[in-house]
Structure 1
Amino acid sequence: MDAGNTQAFDACLREALAQTREWVPRWLGKLHSSLKDRELSAGQLSEKQGMLQARTTLESHRDLIATRFLAALAESMENALPHTGSGSRRSPTVSFDELELMGDDQVQETVELARVQQVVKMAVDEELVTLTSRLNGAQGLTVVNPDANPLRAEVIVAALMTALKGLHVPAAVRTRWLQVGAIALGDDLRHMYAHLSQQLDRAGVKPAGYVVTQTVTSRQTAAASAQKEEAVSVQEVLVNDNLLTLDHLHQLLVGNLDLNAKSDNSTAVSDNVMGRTLASEVVTLMLKRIAADERLLEPVRNMLQDMKPALLQLARAEPRFFADKQNPARRLLDAITERSLAFTNELDPGYGPFSNQVRGIVRTLLKPGDDLADRFPGLLAELNRSQAAAVAPAQVQARGLAVQTLVRVEQRNLLAERVAAEIRARNDFEKAPGVVRRFLTGPWSQVLAQARLEVSDASPVSPADSPALRYSDILPDLLWSSQLALASLNRPRLVKVIPGVLRTLREGLDSIDYPREKAESFFQALMGLHEAAYKTQRSEPAPHEDPPSVQHELDDEPWMQRTEARDSCLMDDTFPDAPNTQISTQPAFLETRPLQRDWADLKAEMAGQGAQALPVGTWVDVLQDGQAMRWQITWASPHGTLFLFTGANGRSLSMTKRGLERLLEQDRLRVVAHHGVVDEALDEVARQAWINSSKS
C-alpha cells in the first residue's frame, strides 16, 4: 500500500465514523416515527401495546444507543481489518456445534440478526460492491477480497447488535427495533457507502477487480450424477429447501422433535416425519458440500457420494447420527475424509490400498438388509486397523523417539529461561561485558538446565560431584574475570581462576553438544578480555569500558542439540545451527490456495495461543526442495513451542514454533485444513439454515 492510498484509506475510515455520528441519531428518529405509525395502525391490542412499549423504551435509551453503537462500530471496524488478526473473516453465522448448545432465545436472536442483515444487504448491494472495490484498491489489493472491507454490512449490523444487547431491555423490544428499523438502516448505509466511494474516487484510488470463477462440469459427470440421484427414492431427494431453518435444525439437534412416534397422535407423527425429512436434508447438503471440497481427490469424493443411499437410510433410523461425533457412522465418515486429506495425487504411496478399502466399505453399506446400523462399527474398526498396519514399526518407533526428544527439549528450554532469569538477577551481572552476558543467558543457561535435569533423573550424588553445582560455582569468577576494572587489580587471582573457568566452560558446552565453531568464537573473545586485564598495570587506569547496554539475550528459538535434531526429525532449514541454510532462497507457492489463511492472522494467533493456533490434526503443505509435501500435525508440545508432523507414508517431521512461523512468512507452508471435512460440511449446512432463516 503506497503512502497516498494509505492516507486515503485512513481518511475514509475517519469519514465513516463522522458520517455515522450524523446518521445514527437520524436513524433512531426514523425508527421512533415508524414505531409510532405501527402503533397507530395496529389492528390487535397486543401488537399496539408491543409497539407502544418499544417506542417508549426507545425514547429513554436513544442517547445511550447512539453512544454504544458508535463505540461498538469503531471497535468492530478495527477488528474487521485482516491485518489485525483479531477479527473473524467469516460472516457472523453460527457453526453446527454451536447451534446444538444454544437455547431457544439465542436461536431466535440469531434468526433476527440474519433477517436484518438480509434486508440491509439487499438495500446496499450495489453501493457496497463499489465501496469494497475502492477500499480494496486503497489497501493495495488487485483482486477484490470482501472480507478486507471493514465497513461491510455485517460489521455494521453486528455492531448494532452489540450495542442493543448491552441494554437492559426486554428481548421483544430489541426484536421490534430491528424489525421496524431494518429498512431505514439500509437506506442510511446506502447513502454513506455512496459518499465514501466518491471520496475515494476523488482521492484517485483505483478500484480492485473482481474475478469470476466458472466451474466446468462435463456432460459425463453430470449424467453420472443424474443416474446416482435416480437410484435414490423420491422422498429422499425431494426435500424442501425452506424447511431447513435454524429453528428447525436446532429442534432436531436438541431432540425437541418426537422422532420415535408410533402412536396415532397427529402431532407426534408430524414431528416424526419432519425430523426424518430434516435429517435427510442435512445428509444431502452435507454430502453436496463434501462433493465440492477440492481438497479431496475426485475419486474419493465420488465414493463418498456413492454412500448417500446408505446414509439417507440410516438418517431415517437415527436422524441425529451426524451430530453425534461418537456415532460409528459419523466416525467412519470422519476417518475416511481425514485419511483422504493425506493424498494429493492418485499415484501417492498408500492411496491405492486406501481407495480399494473405501470401495469395499461402500459395497458393504449398499447391500440390502435391516442391519445397516450394525455394519458401521465393524467397518470403522477394520479401517483403523488397516491404517495402523500401513505404518512400518520402524516409523512408529521413530515417532515415539521424536516425541520423547521434543518433550525433553521443551523441558530444558523452559528451565533454561528460569536459569537465565536467575543469572540476570545477580548483582555482578549488569557490569559484565555484553558478550559474556549473552553467553550466560544463552548457551550457559542451557548447560545449567541440562545438568539440573540430569541430576533430577539420576540417582542421588554428592553435591561436590554434581555438574550442576560446578557449572554454577564458576559464575562469580567468570563475571569477575571479564571486568577489566576489577580483574586488573588482582592479577594473581586472575591467573589462578582462568584455567578452571575455561576447563569448566568447555566441559559444560560439550555436555550439550554446542557447536565447536561458536564455542571457539566465545573463547577468543573471553581470552581477549583476560589478556587485556592481565596486561593492565595497577598504577595505570583501566581501559575505558562502554557502560552496560541493553542486550537482546532472549531468543524464542528453542535450543536443540544436533543429536536431538536428528532424533526428533527436525526440518533441516528450520534449525538455527544447521550449516548453509537460506530459507528465503527456497521457492514459494506460486498460486494462492483458497484455503490459505492470512499470515498476519496466523502469526497473531500463534503469539497469543501457541499450539492452539494450529491445533493437532491440522493438515499443511510444506515446500521442501521445491516440492509441496502434505503433512499433518500429530503432536504439539504442551507450551506450543514444538510441533511434530506425520506424512501419508508415516514419516515424521518436527519444527520449532519459530521455524513454523518462518515457513509461513516465507509462504513455504500452507494450511490445508484446520478442522475435519465433515465438521466444515456441517457448518455449511448450518450456514444454509441461517440463510434460509433470513429469508423466511
Structure 2
Amino acid sequence: MQTDAKVVHLNKAAPEHSPTSQAGRLPVALIQVRDKAAQQLKLALQALFDNADDTLFEMADRAASNAEQNGFFEAMRDLRLKRKSIERGFLQKLFESFATLNQYEVGKAAPQLGAVSFESLSLVQDDVLEESVALDAMVARVVSRDGVALTHLTTRLNTLISQKLEDKSNPLGPRALCEQFMALCAGLGVEIRVKLIVLKLFEKYVLADLDQLYAAANQQLVELGVLPELKSAPPARRNAPGRAAPGNRAAREASAGEASGAAYADEGVQEVFGALQELLAEVRGSAAMPRRVAPADAVPISSNDLMRLLSHMQQRLPSDSGQSTDDFDLRNQLEQLLTRASAKSGKARVVGEIDEDVINLVSMLFEFILDDRTLPDSLKALIARLQIPMLKVAVLDKTFFSRGSHPARRLLNEIASAALGWSAQDDAQRDSLYQRIDQVVQRLLNDFTDDPSIFSDLLAEFLAFTGDERRRSDLLEQRTRDAEEGRAKAELARQQVEQALNTRLLGKTLPEVVVRLLQEGWSKVLQLTCLKHGSESVEWQAALLVMDDLVWSVELHEEPEDRVRLLELVPNLLKALREGLAGAAIDPFVTSEFFSQLEAVHVQAFQRFKRALPEPEVEVEPLLPTDDTSVESSGEVTPLLDLPVAAEPEVEAPAMVEVVEEIVLLAPGEVREREAEVSLPDDDQALLQVDSLRVGSWVEIQEDEEHKLRCKLAAIIKPTGKYIFVNRTGMKVLEKTRMGLAVEFRRAAIRMLDDALLFDRALESVIGNLRKLKNA
C-alpha cells in the first residue's frame, strides 16, 4: 500500500504555537534520545497502518454477515482517511510530553467531572472498560518484559530534568504511548471490536519493539556518562514485526510473551542484584567489610525466620520519634538475637548469604542517607527509623534495588524531597510536614509485618498531602514572582526618572519651589508615564519636555526674544503641569500651593525683563504760561509729566537652592540598602557557581554561627539582576544580586543542596564505594 510520501521533520513535529513547546530548554542528551525514539516510533506506526488494511480485509473475509463485513470495510476506509492525522498527532504528543519535562505546573486545577447520562452509562462504561482492560494488559506485558530497561531509562532521565518522573509518566513508557494512541483513535467512527483490533496492532508493531528502543536510549545516555553503572540486559532478538503473519499467530505470540514475561523480569532483577552481590563478594573480608566467623555446623535461617527477627527488633525500637538512632547498629542487634536463638535451639544459627548481602546493602544505603548533608539533621532521626522496614521490604522483594517505581523506594524519595526545604528552626511539634513524616514512620513500625502493600497506601496518602502543600506553595511562589517583577519594573522606572532629574538639575541653582515641584510631584508623573508607556514613548518625551520648559522658564534670560517666548510658554506650561499632576493623583492642596509660589516666580521673571529694557528718550519742553493764561500770583507751574504715577509692587525674590547632591527618590520610610560594590572577573569561580544556579535550585545559607537558612531560587529578575529566594511555603526570605551571591559563595556561606532522588544517589554512592574498595 502506498504511504504518504511527504517527509515529516522530527524537529518540527510539535506545533510551533504550542504553549508547552520549550524544546530549547531540554538538555542536549534528552533531545538526542527524543529524536531517535521518535524516528523509531514513526517507522513502527507506518508499519502498523501498512498492515492494518491486510488485517481488516482478512477479518472482513471471515465475517459472518454482510453488516459485519461492511463494518470492517468502513473501518479500513476511516483508517486510511485519518492515518496521516494520527501519525502526525502521535509525534506531536510525544514532543509535547518531552517539552513539559522541565516545566513546573503552577496552580493547575483539578479536572472537573462532567454531567453523566444514566441512559448511556452502561454502554459507555462497557466500551471504556474493555479499552481500559486492553490497555492495562498491554502495559503489563511490556513492563513484565522490559521493566528493568524502562526503570533504568526513567532513572537516567530523572538526572536530566527538573520534574520527578515515574515509569508510568515516562514519555517513552508503554502507558504514556498507549494512552496517546488511544486518545488519537477516539475519533475513529468504528465499533469497540475494531478499536481493540487496532490496539492489538499497536501492540504488535509498536510496543513489541520497545525493548530495542529502551536499549538504544539507555546506551545513548551511558555514552554521555549518565549513570553508566546501571546495566540492563540486552534485548532479546525477535523477528521483525512486519514479517510476522497476522491473525492467530499474533495471539500465540502475545500468549507466549505473557508466559515468558515473568522469567524475563526475574532475569533483569537478578542481574541488578547479582551485580551488587558480585561487588560485595569481592570486598568481603577487607577491613571495610570483615567476614563474620561462623561455626562449621552453622545452619542458615530462612528468610521467614529473618523476617520474624526483624519484626521483633522493629517493635522494640524506641517509641520517641525524636530520639537519636546514631548508636543503633542493626547487624550487631541481629547478631545478638541469633546468639540467643542458637543458645535455645542448641544449633548455631546464622543469616544466609543472600540475606546477609541484603542486610549489608541496606545498611550501607542508610549510612549514606544519614551522612547526607542535604537532609536536615532534625529529620534524620525520623528517617533512620525506616531502616528495618526498608530492610524487610528488600528481603521480600529484590526489585527494591532495581525498580525505581518500587513503592518503598518512592516513599523514601518523596519524604526526602519534601524534607529538602525543612528548616531546623521550624517548630517540629507544630509543623505539619514533620508530623506527617512521623505518622508514616509510626504506621510502618506498628503495622508492617510482611505485607508490602502498606507502602503503596502510605505513598498515596503522602503524595496527596505533599501535593496539597505544593499547590499552596506554588501559588504563593507565583504571587511572589509577580510582585517582584512588578517591583523590578517600578525600580527600573524610578531609576529612569532619577537619571532624568539629575541630568537636568544637578549643579544648577533654581528656585526652591521648582526643585520641590519636580522632585516631589513631577517625578511621580514621570514614573507613571514610564510604567505605562515606556521610556521610548512619545508620552515620556512629552513629560520630559514639560520639565525642560519649567526649568528654562525660571532661569535668568536677557534677550528680548526670550521675553516673547516666556509670554507664549507660561500658559501652556501651567496647563500641562496641572493636567499631569492631576493625572498622578497629587494632593490638590499641595498642587495649589505649588502653583501660587510658581506664579510669584514667573511674575518676578517678567519684572526682571521690564527693568532690563532701556527707557525711550523723549524730549519734553516745559509748559510755560502764555500771555492769555491766567496764573495765580502765588502758585507755581507744574509740568504734566511730573504728576505722580502708581508704581507696580515689587515681588519678593524667591528662595533659591543649589542642587549639589544626586536626587534619590524613596517612598516614605523607605531606606535603600546598597550592597558593597565588588568587581569580579567573568571567569571567577564564584560567579560561575552563581551562573550555574537554576530556578528551582535549593541552597543552604549560613546566616550566622548558629542559624542556617534553606531556600529555593524562585526567580531571577533580569531588569534589576535580583535573585529571589523563597522558603518551602513559597514566601520570600532572601534577595541578592549576582555579585552579592558571588561574595557569599567565596566565603563558603552558601551550599548547594542536591535535589536528585535520595535512594538513587545513595545506591550510586554505594556502588561507587564498593568499586573503590575492589580496586584498592
TM-score (norm 2): 0.36
Rg bigger for which structure?
Answer: 2
Compare relative contact order (CA 8 Å, sep 6+) and give the higher one, 1 or 2: 1
**Higher helix content, 1 or 2:** 1
TM-score (norm 1): 0.39
